[in-house]
Amino acid sequence: MIGSSVFFEALLAIVTGIAVVQLWRAGLRGSAIGLSFVAVAAALGAMLFAGIIAVDAPHAAVTRWAAVAGFPTFAGMALWRRSHAEPAWPLSLAIIGLLIAIGYVFTAPSYALVIGSIGLLCLLWLALTLLRSEPRFAAAILIGCLLTSLAGLLIGTEGQWGPLPRVDWYHLALSIANLAFGWSLSGSIGPDSRR
């Protein structure tokens, strides 16, 4: 079981890293910086599942940061880029820093759920704005949102589903979602997509 968890967490790290590179190359640097927290958290998680206990505390911290700051920044910047120029990258870091600080003040799990839901709403709004002009990209964003929601609200990380632990299904769902986000956002609102 642990071997499968190492694999699926490493898969999430690699796939999310690919999405980060796609976003960066498309000029969506704010979104790339936000999503990179998910990639780092997954890489540390794979190391933890492999038995490297020294990464336990950094993994917990970066996972929290990814939830309360990275993903919301990724989503908010993607929506921003739909109609505005890319802000200077220090602004993205400042937003992430501010969201991390707020996350330290509001430590209840409900805060992570609320701020993550706001991120998903930003992506849903973006998908709706792309529905007529770019239906393939809009559909991919909607699939990514659905898989992200299912991972957090239905699949979870405790227990077993069929032959695999739920945490493996969770990481698989997020892998597909992040791949869909990277492909769709870099194709729909990157510089080459401007008409």
Domain residue spans of the chain: 2-193
* CA 157 – CA 173 distance, rounded (Å): 12
Please answer whether residues 96 and 33 qualify as being in contact, where contact means their C-beta atoms are separated by less than 8 angstroms.
yes
pTM, two decimals, is 0.91
Of 121, 118, 156, 112, the C-alpha closest to 141 is 121
Stretches in the chain below the pLDDT threshold 50: 192-195
Angle at 19 between CA 155 and CA 90, to 5 degrees: 110
Return the structure tokens found at 53. 């206990």
* CA 54 – CA 47 distance, rounded (Å): 9
Report DSSP state, residue 157: S
Task: Return the bridge partners of 165, or none.
Answer: 160
> What per-residue confidence (pLDDT) applies to 38?
97
Q: How many helices (H) and strands (E) does the chain have?
A: 8, 2
